[in-house]
């Protein structure tokens, strides 16, 4: 079985050319295998299911990119989607620029690194910096200065459009719950992020083609299978997630 994978950027208007198999994966950095040197879960799924798949990944991907790609490639068959981070991602308010480093205002730059240094001194510095970033998130969130990049109403409109396109193209959707919770994100923020996409997808589930479903992930199962950032999966986590998706597909 083959895995046709493409990492795409916002500047690209085309993604994969050639014959399109009936199973597709669209997701972000976890799906792309960030932080591991082994095999990401779509490839393991392909092997276990004896099914060729197309995999489309981008470091931070939102639903707007998913909708664009589905329309552009006229995808049909089964689609496994894990794209919450791009829409749920929070960024600091520009009003704080005089107080904080410029790179902290970029998406995901308040999150912990995938791998901590093996050097004791560098590792200690990383831990201290991560804690400062963690506290910054808490304070900024309480002050209303740490906001999602996508407005909830805009996201609801996007999901409605996604459902219409999926029906039109006969594309069954498997919406994958984020497999891990980032320990560097305050709990009350993490809870909002986790429910953001899930709630809106489930609200529109009946509008998607028959057989579409939300694939719930028990985070306790994967809690020990994370990299140092507490979010991305290690190789064992990828293998487990592939098995979970395989079960969900039958």
Residue 161, CA distances (Å) to 22, 83, 155, 157, 173 in order:
21, 16, 10, 6, 14
Residue 7 has a pLDDT of 43
Instruction: Please report, for the chain, the start and end positions of each structural domain, with discontinuous segments joined by +.
Output: 3-89+148-248, 91-142
Q: Which two tokens stand for residue 64?
A: 């707007």
198-230 residue pLDDT tens: 888 999 999 999 999 999 887 777 778 888 877
Residue 243, pLDDT above cutoff 80:
yes
Confidence of residue 154 (pLDDT cuts 50, 70, 90): confident
Q: Is the pLDDT of residue 1 over 50?
A: no
What is the pLDDT at residue 161? 95
CATH hierarchy code of domain 3-89+148-248: 3.40.50.1110
Residue 102 has pLDDT above 80, yes or no: yes
Average pLDDT value for residue range 180-205: 63
pLDDT for the residue 92: 81
End-to-end CA distance of the chain: 19
pLDDT value at position 193? 46
Task: Return the higher-pLDDT residue of 188 and 138.
Answer: 138
Query: Per-residue DSSP letters for 75-115?
Result: --EEEEEE-HHHHH-EEE-GGGTTTS-GGGGSTTTTSPPSS
Higher per-residue pLDDT: 85 or 122? 122
Is residue 4 very low, low, confident or very high in pLDDT (cuts 50, 70, 90)? low
Q: Which two tokens stand for residue 208?
A: 């998607």
Q: State the pLDDT at residue 22.
A: 83
Q: Determine the pLDDT at residue 241.
A: 93
Strand partners, 171: 77
Spell out a b/e string for 119-133, using b for 16 or more CB atoms within 10 Å of the CB, else e.
eeeeeeebeeebeeb
Residue 163 pLDDT exceeds 90? yes
């Amino acid at each position: 079985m083959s895995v046709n994978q493409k990492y795409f950027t916002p500047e690209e208007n085309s993604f994969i050319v050639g014959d399109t198999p009936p199973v597709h994966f669209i997701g972000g950095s976890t799906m792309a295998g960030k932080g591991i040197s082994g095999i990401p879960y779509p490839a393991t799924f392909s092997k276990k299911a004896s099914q060729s798949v197309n995999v489309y990944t981008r470091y931070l991907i939102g639903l707007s990119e998913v909708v664009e790609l589905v329309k552009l490639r006229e995808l049909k068959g089964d689609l496994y989607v894990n794209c919450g981070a791009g829409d749920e991602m929070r960024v600091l308010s520009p009003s704080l620029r005089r107080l904080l480093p410029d790179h902290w205002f970029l998406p995901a730059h308040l999150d912990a690194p995938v791998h901590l240094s093996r050097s004791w001194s560098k590792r200690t510095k990383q831990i201290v910096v991560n804690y400062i970033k963690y506290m910054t998130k808490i304070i900024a969130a309480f002050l209303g200065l740490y906001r999602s990049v996508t407005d909830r109403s805009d996201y609801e409109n996007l999901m409605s459009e996604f459902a219409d396109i999926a029906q039109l193209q006969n594309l069954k959707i498997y919406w994958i719950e984020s497999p891990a919770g980032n320990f560097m994100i305050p709990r009350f923020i993490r809870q909002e992020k986790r429910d953001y996409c899930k709630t809106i997808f489930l609200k529109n589930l009946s509008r998607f083609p028959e057989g579409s479903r939300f694939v719930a992930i028990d985070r306790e199962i994967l809690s020990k299978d994370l990299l140092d950032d507490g979010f991305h999966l290690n190789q064992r986590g990828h293998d487990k997630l592939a098995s979970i998706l395989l079960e969900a597909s039958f």
